Amino acid sequence: MLPTLSLRKVKAEEIDTIVDIDKIFGPDAFPKYMFEDYMEECNENNGFFYVLEVEGVLAGYIIAVHDFDGAYTIESIAIRSEFQKVGYGKFLLETIENLIRREGGDEIKLQVSDKNTSARKLYENFGYQYIGNEQEKFYLDGSAALSMKKEFDAY
Ligand SMILES: CC(C)(COP(=O)(O)OP(=O)(O)OC[C@H]1O[C@@H](n2cnc3c(N)ncnc32)[C@H](O)[C@@H]1OP(=O)(O)O)[C@@H](O)C(=O)NCCC(=O)NCCS
């Protein structure tokens, strides 16, 4: 049987769980106050801070902030390791892209570590393009940040 999935806005009382999931990023994990700030910003400004529940377990999250006009930035996406590689990352990204487009968004940017093969593959498959301003030693593990962008035609 297919698992029951729920993708919805994060609740304030779930931020500690998000912090726990974010440990997957090691030293580059966001501190709690950043998630609280993102939640507030998304509530005020058409951004999306969504969580994915699988059979009632918080399995992952995605944050996309609204920069200006139709421009959005994916600030973070993560799936708990035991829920990875079954398509939930794709599901989160696809849903958030659709929500952004429904708000009139036409451009999404993000940054990814050059060493993060799985995330880079995901974005490449979704049509994100490298925009060439690599930032050396951006992450605490010494890896570089690569910037990517995807543009949409108007609906
Ligand atoms: C990146 C991440 C969100 C992907 O989530 P996921 O649920 O495992 O991904 P999916 O199962 O939906 O797979 C989506 C695509 O990602 C790529 N991918 C996922 N795991 C991969 C792996 N181990 N190696 C190579 N590519 C991989 C593939 O392109 C895959 O598509 P395919 O199955 O059609 O080949 C997840 O690995 C994660 O949370 N990583 C740690 C946090 C992180 O790095 N976030 C990104 C920050 S920029």
- When pLDDT is cut at 50, 70 and 90, the band that residue 155 belongs to is low
The CB of 118 under 6 Å from ligand 1? The reply is: yes
Residue 133 has pLDDT above 80, yes or no: no
Q: Can you tell me the mean pLDDT for 38-65? A: 96
Q: Considering the domain boundaries, does residue 115 fall inside one? A: no
pLDDT, average across residues 108-121: 97
154 assigned to some structural domain: no
Mean pLDDT of the chain: 96
Atom of ligand 1 nearest to the CA of 83: 7
Q: Ligand 1 pocket: which of 19, 58, 122, 150 to mutate (most atoms <8 Å of CB)? A: 122
Query: Residue 146: CB within 6 Å of ligand 1?
Result: no
Is residue 153 domain-resident?
no
Domain count, the chain: 1
Q: Atom 43, ligand 1: which residue's CA is nearest? A: 78
135 DSSP assignment = B
Is 68 contained in some domain? yes
- Ligand 1 atom showing the smallest separation from residue 112 Cα: 48
* Alpha-carbon span 109 to 128, nearest angstrom: 8
Q: In which domain, by residue range, is 96 found?
A: 5-109
Q: Which of the four pLDDT bands, split at 50, 70 and 90, describes residue 30?
A: very high
Whether residue 129 lies inside any domain: the answer is: no
Least confident of 83-87, 123-127, 137-141, 145-149: 137-141
In a domain, 120, yes or no: no
- In degrees and rounded to multiples of 5, residue 149 shows phi and psi of -145, 145
Q: How much is the pLDDT for 154?
A: 67
For residue 74, give the nearest of 37, 38, 29 by alpha carbon: 38
What CATH number did the domain enclosing 57 receive?
A: 3.40.630.30
What is the 130 CA–ligand 1 centroid distance (Å)?
17
Q: Report which residue type is found at 63.
A: I
